[in-house]
Amino acid sequence: MTTQIIEAKNRRLTPEMEAVALKEGVSKEEILDKVASGRVVILKNNRRADVIPTAVGEGMTVKINANIGTSMERSGLAEELDKVKVIESAGADVLMDLSTGDNIDETRKAIISATKLPIGTVPMYQAGKEAIDIYNDISKLSKDKLFSDIEKQCKDGIDFITVHCGVTKFVVDQLEKQGRVTDIVSRGGSMLACWIKATGRENPLYEYYDELLELVREYDCTLSLGDGLRPGCTADAGDRAQVAETMVLGELVKRAREAGVQTMVEGPGHVPLNKIPAMIETIKVLTDYAPLYVLGPLVTDIAPGYDHITAAIGGTLAAYHGADFLCYVTPAEHIGLPDVKQVREGIISSKIAAHAADLARGNKKAYEMDYNMSVARKTLDWEGQKKYAIDKCVFHNVADGKPCTMCGKYCSMKIFNEYFSKDAAGMI
């Protein structure tokens, strides 16, 4: 079974490559080169005919992911499907189903059927949850069960999966020797570290990595190599355990590319603003510039209820310095499961961060959007402003050609246009 990266290495342009080249405003040759090198991935499972192929990586616009999923504590399928509608209307590029509630298989299939956006999952969540529910012991999870869940989700049409292959015995040993303020905050990373600690065995995702590659290659499902040791607080950012895992991920990126499997890498996490540029560059170098997918980064730990803002601050700087894919953070982060309104707020915040980075990186489309918005503001063209706004819902009760209620007849644009308009007698 072929994949996008195999086709690109053989200089064969696929319909998906053509589609993303047109969408991104780049040449077909550039897409071929970037996909062949592994610096761009195209998210699309070959079992999903109607998914929107989405390019993530070097030279592409910064993409946004929105997480949803049921919880045993709250939420059901109906609410999560409402979130899917909001994710589409708010303009996220991708979503992930992180369900841990009842009927995970049915939930996943319903979400796949409800959208054409690429969808990701973390198969360890389902495998680990079921081991804990049945045995009350994560160490009872078998390699066969974990790989069976991975294959099941690929068959369903999942476009990318997060797998914490870098949480190895060596990396866990580094964590234990070093110590941390917040230990492991990744759910999948924590499950695997505890499995390693209890069994004394190597992480099966690492030990049987070649088998994993063979499995996902059949579906052209992109591997998202999870950062199980991402820092969960600013004090832990850039420590030995995090770097040790990143070095393992660099090895795994190379092996995946050689096997014809598309691969991206996940990154931090909680990172102080001053450490973000060096950290992004370090991860990029260690992983041979694989597409980088970051959670935030969150630049402070003391803003519960406003972490969509702390993540947008960090996400802008991270994307400017090379991150390719931002996972949204909602106001509910560190508090609870987000509701529909909070999902929307998280997406809008991340889109602002992504667009600001695209603008700073010289993206032509981003510049044109800002320029056109400025022209519409000058002419008090409210419909035009709505067209170019990230959040189009904020424009209401404003009549075209009239100032807003902030300044009214004292509006600077209105006054200037009256005296400096080309139509004004004796002027200009």
Please give the average per-residue pLDDT across 89-104, as a whole number: 96
Q: Using 50, 70 and 90 to split pLDDT, how confident is the model at 140? A: very high
Element at 165 (helix H, strand E): none
Tell me what pLDDT residue 276 has.
98
Please give the average per-residue pLDDT across 131-156, as a whole number: 97
**CB atoms closer than 10 angstroms to residue 215:** 16
Give the pLDDT confidence of 371-416 residue by residue, as tens digits.
999 999 999 999 999 999 999 988 877 777 788 888 888 999 889 9
Burial class for 136, CB neighbours closer than 10 Å (0-12, 13-18, 19+):
exposed
Q: Are 318 and 62 in contact (CB under 8 A)?
A: no
Domain ranges in the chain are 60-362, 365-420
Phi/psi region, residue 245 (left: phi>0; alpha: psi -120 to 50; beta: rest), is alpha
Residue 314 reports pLDDT greater than 70: yes
- 283: tokens are 């991860």
Give the pLDDT confidence of 43-80 residue by residue, as tens digits.
999 999 999 999 999 999 999 999 999 998 877 899 99
Domain 60-362 is found in CATH 3.40.50.261 = no
Give the pLDDT confidence of 191-224 residue by residue, as tens digits.
999 999 999 999 999 999 999 999 999 999 999 9
**92 closest CA partner among 67, 125, 74, 127:** 67
Lowest mean pLDDT across 8-22, 80-94, 107-121, 377-391: 377-391
DSSP conformation class of 157:
T
**Residues recorded for the chain:** 428
Tell me what pLDDT residue 229 has.
97
In Å, how far are 104, 195, 209 from 201, measured between CA atoms?
28, 8, 15
Q: Using 50, 70 and 90 to split pLDDT, how confident is the model at 423? A: low
Give the rounded percent of residues in the chain with a pLDDT score beyond 90.
91
Lowest mean pLDDT across 137-146, 179-188, 256-265, 394-403: 394-403
Cα 313 to Cα 7: distance, rounded to the nearest angstrom:
38
Q: Using 50, 70 and 90 to split pLDDT, how confident is the model at 427? A: very low
Q: Is 222 helix (H, G, I), strand (E, B) or coil?
A: strand
Tell me what pLDDT residue 428 has.
41
Please give the average per-residue pLDDT across 155-179, as a whole number: 97
Tell me what pLDDT residue 424 has.
46
- What are the backbone angles phi and psi of residue 66, rounded to the nearest 5°? -120, 125
Give the pLDDT confidence of 328-373 residue by residue, as tens digits.
999 999 999 999 999 999 999 999 999 999 999 999 999 999 999 9
Please give the average per-residue pLDDT across 274-283, as a whole number: 98
**257 closest CA partner among 265, 266, 267, 269:** 265
Q: What is the pTM of this model?
A: 0.95
Please give the average per-residue pLDDT across 263-292, as a whole number: 98
Residue 287 reports pLDDT greater than 50: yes
Cα 399 to Cα 332: distance, rounded to the nearest angstrom:
35
Residue type, 97: D
Tell me what pLDDT residue 422 has.
62
Return the sign of the alpha-carbon dihedral for residues 328, 330, 332, 334.
positive
